Structures are given as C-alpha cells and as structure tokens.
Amino acid sequence: MSPILFWIFSALMLGFGAATILNRNPVASALSLVVSFLGLAALFFGLDANFIGVIQILVYAGAVMVLFIFIIMLLDLKAEQRRQINIPALLGGVAIVVAFTAQLVTVIRSYKAGNEPFAAITPNLPDAHNIGMTLFANYNLPFQVIGVLILVASIGVVVLSQRELK
C-alpha cells in the first residue's frame, strides 16, 4: 500500500474515531463510526486481506451500524447536555492516555523487526478460498462453537426484548 493512501485512510479512521467519542449527539457518533470502519476496511484491503475487508464492511457498515442506528431511533435519544467537568477525573484520564501512548511508542521503538518492509506477496491471491480452507480444516471446532454462540445470542435477544420481563 502506498504511504500516501495509508496515511490518508489512517487519518480518516482516527479522525472519525475521535469524532465518534467526542460528538454529543448519538446519531452523529454512529455515522462517524461508519466512516471510521470504512477507513479500517480500506486499510485491510491495503494489507491484501480482501475477504476480511469485505466482511468488515458487510458486518459493521451493514449490520452493526444499522442496529445502532435503529436503537437510537427507537429510544429517541437527544443530544446530551454539557456536563460539569470533573477536574481530578480529567487529569487522571489525561495521565492514563499519556502513559499509554508513551508505552506504545517505547514498545514499538524497541521492536526492531517491525521496521523491515513487508515481504512480497503472491499477486491475485484466491483469498476467500484460502480462508475457507483454513477455517474448515484447522478451525472446525471453533467455527461450530461460534455457531452455537450466535444461536445463544439470537435466543437471548428474543428473550430480552420481550415486552414484559416477568
């Protein structure tokens, strides 16, 4: 992936990610989250993971976002009021963020192997085929467990969203 594209999509993703958590209006947050995930999917395409990128768009932009938006509409949420800023909590949060970023930079600095460029990849990889082979050959049991998980989740949603919880 060319550096220009990488930084454009990274900036898009991080900028809209920041907009997600800074917006006071939940609908604006949800829409920023969509754009952020689209930038992430573009980064996946740049890493030659076409299948994962498409799944990312399909699941997040198609399903998860629509769920969020639907719930926001259903609950009729309004923009939040400005809150009193809690000074000690804010200082603590800033300290945590600075410490985390410093730690991140230190760890990445010390990881020398990560500074080498990516090795060449076979062009026009049959991505979906390879992922399917890996999934069904090596990860058969986890795949079935995931199926059970989705079943449990869907039953759980039906039970939870019944009108009377008695």
Partner 1 sequence: MITLNDYLLVSGLLFALGFAGVLLRRNIIIIFMGLELMLNAANLSLVAFSRFGIVNGLPNYNGQMLVFFIITVAAAEVAVGLAIIVALYRARQTTNVEDLNTLKF
Partner 2 sequence: MNFIDLLKRIPEICKTPETLPLEGKKLILDFVTWLGSLVGIAVPPWVLTLVNILVVIVAIIAVFLIMFALMSVWERKILARAQNRYGPNRVGPWGLFQPVADGIKMLTKEDIVPRNADKVVHFIAPIVMLVPALILPVLLPYGRGMVAIDLSVGILFFFAVGAGSEVAIFLAGWSSRNKYSILGAMRAIAQMISYELPLVMSAVIVALVAGTLSPTGIVEAQGGYQFGFFPNWFVFTPWGFVACVLFYFSALAESNRSPFDLPEGESELVAGHLTEYSGFKYALFFMAEYVGMFAINGLLVTLFLGGYQAPLPFLTFIPSWCWFFIKLAFLAFSLVWVRATMPRFRIDQMMQFAWKFMLPMSFAALFSAAAWHYAGRGLLGWGISAVLVAIPYFALGYFCFTRHHSADNRRYLFSE
Q: Which residues bind partner 2 (CB under 8 A)?
A: 27, 31, 34, 50-51, 54-55, 57-58, 61-63, 65-66, 69-70, 73-74, 124-129
Q: How many residues contact partner 1, by CB under 8 A?
A: 77
Site for partner 1 in 86-105 (CB under 8 A): 93, 96-97, 100-101, 104-105
Which lies closer to partner 2 via its Cβ, residue 22 or residue 108?
22
Indicate whether 34 belongs to the interface with partner 1 (CB under 8 A): no
Give the largest CA-CA distance in the chain.
60
Q: Which residues contact 61 (CB under 8 A, 6 or more apart)?
A: 34, 37, 38, 41
Which lies closer to partner 2 via its Cβ, residue 109 or residue 129?
129
Question: What span, in angstroms and rounded, lies between the C-alpha atoms of 157 and 85?
Answer: 36
3-state secondary structure of 42: helix
